Amino acid sequence: MAESTEQRKSRHLDVCLDEDVASRLDAGWEAVRLRHEALPEIALADVDVSTVFLGLALRAPLLISSMTGGTVRAAEINRRLARGAEAAGIAFALGSGRAMLEDDGLRTTFDVRAVAPKVVVFANLGAVQLNYGVRTEDARRLVDALGANGLYLHLNPLQEALQSGGDTNFRSLEPKIAALCAALEVPVIAKSVGSGIAPSTAARLVDCGVAAIDVAGAGGTSWARVEGKRSGDPARERIAEAFGDWGYPTPRATAALRAALPLVPLVASGGIRDGVQVAKALALGADLAGLALPFLRAADESDAAVAALIDELVTALRIALFATGSRAIGELRDALA
Ligand SMILES: Cc1cc2nc3c(=O)[nH]c(=O)nc-3n(C[C@H](O)[C@H](O)[C@H](O)COP(=O)(O)O)c2cc1C
């Protein structure tokens, strides 16, 4: 019998939590150096990491990247992440809402408004689903039902190609993405899933009306490896493993996108693992930094673990600003060594 979307999502969580799914590519954060300021002439207390992203006020430039929904376990993870994000004033993205569009009974596994009425939350769909029956009305229904502040559209050709029975018809999506962006009342953000987005592709997406780009580059969770390990088929896993270092590493891809598109709201994600890397991502031109797998691990543990991870990231980011002599995150752009 074909695997249901719900079964697939559940297995994704186990594979990500229990197996080595790290990209075999070193993202290259060490090569990004921030200027150390021995005489900052500010107090640590002067540092302000608040920001505004797509008109949404955040107390720190952080995003919990798209992960889950659709199962009872996912519901609890989403609630823990949403509570943590709301308490800290950071943004939170849900996993693909396709399962909910297929079965409205799964809505409660995505809907976090009951526990986090004010959190900045983004819904998520695979762009390719626009070729598989998902219409603009469906995307709007998803956004409305979840009270979402925006919609993430993920672009995952490699992942679909490595999945048995994956949705691999990526033909003529641009006009459909453009129609979606024009019709929705909320901003649409395009993202990869750990392979990155080239500047020329990002420019095409911006032409379609996408409001922001999330590079979701390589160096963190490898979706090729996740799909390979999930398949249970040695030949398929070998094919997937061949793509274990695929994609544009996040720091380089972030810098390239910022250089090509100076004004487009930009999220850096993919392999960001600590607050100094967050600072480096912002210095390279990102407006927000997103993390997925570290937040899954924390949410799998407890509300307290989510709060502690956010606190660690924000504390290190604040210290990185202080030690570069930056009062506000905008000043980090001048702090590359
Ligand atoms: C368990 C899990 C589920 C994910 N599901 C989605 C998804 O539904 N939609 C999406 O756009 N990205 C999804 N991703 C990809 C992440 O948003 C992110 O782009 C990728 O994991 C790289 O970030 P990381 O290295 O911080 O994990 C998922 C990641 C994980 C770990």
Q: Which atom of ligand 1 is nearest to the CA of 12?
A: 1
CATH architecture of the domain formed by 5-31+54-318: Alpha-Beta Barrel (3.20)
**pLDDT at residue 186 is higher than 70:** yes
- Name the residue at shortest CA distance from atom 5 of ligand 1: 67
CA distance 279 to 319: 10
Q: Which atom of ligand 1 is nearest to the CA of 69?
A: 8
Say which residue the tokens 């100094």 belong to: 276
What is the mean predicted confidence (pLDDT) over 91-112?
97
pLDDT category at 206 given cuts 50, 70, 90 is very high
Q: How confident is the model at residue 117, as a pLDDT?
A: 98
C-alpha 58 to ligand 1 mean position (Å) = 21
C-alpha 65 to ligand 1 mean position (Å) = 6
Q: How confident is the model at residue 2, as a pLDDT?
A: 54
**pLDDT at residue 8 is higher than 90:** no
What is the mean predicted confidence (pLDDT) over 208-227?
97
pTM (global) more than 0.75: yes
CA distance 83 to 92: 10
Residue 51, strand partner residues: 58
Residue spans of the domains in the chain: they are 5-31+54-318
Kindly state the percentage of the chain with pLDDT values over 70: 98
pLDDT category at 1 given cuts 50, 70, 90 is very low
CA distance 145 to 297: 27
**pLDDT at residue 106 is higher than 60:** yes
CA distance 96 to 56: 22
Q: Which of 193, 245, 254, 288 to mutate to test the pocket of ligand 1 (most atoms within 8 A of CB)?
A: 193
Q: Which atom of ligand 1 is nearest to the CA of 193?
A: 19
Q: How confident is the model at residue 81, as a pLDDT?
A: 98
C-alpha 32 to ligand 1 mean position (Å) = 24
What is the mean predicted confidence (pLDDT) over 173-196?
98
**pLDDT at residue 6 is higher than 70:** no
CA distance 188 to 191: 10
Q: Please answer whether residues 288 and 62 qualify as being in contact, where contact means their C-beta atoms are separated by less than 8 angstroms.
A: yes
**pLDDT at residue 170 is higher than 60:** yes
C-alpha 221 to ligand 1 mean position (Å) = 7
Q: What is the pLDDT of residues 273-314, one digit of tens each?
A: 999 999 999 999 999 999 999 999 999 999 999 999 999 999
**pLDDT at residue 5 is higher than 80:** no
pLDDT category at 10 given cuts 50, 70, 90 is confident
Cα–chain-centroid distance for residue 234? 29
Q: How confident is the model at residue 3, as a pLDDT?
A: 66
Q: Which atom of ligand 1 is nearest to the CA of 13?
A: 1
Q: Convert 171-208 into a string of H (helix), E (strand) and C (coil).
A: CCCHHHHHHHHHHCCCCEEEECCCCCCCHHHHHHHHHC
The rounded mean pLDDT for the chain is 96
Q: Which atom of ligand 1 is nearest to the CA of 17?
A: 1
Find the residues whose C-beta lies inside 6 A of ligand 1: 12-13, 16, 65-68, 95-96, 124, 152, 154, 191, 193-194, 216, 220-221, 269-272, 291-293, 296
Q: How confident is the model at residue 84, as a pLDDT?
A: 98
What is the mean predicted confidence (pLDDT) over 132-155?
98
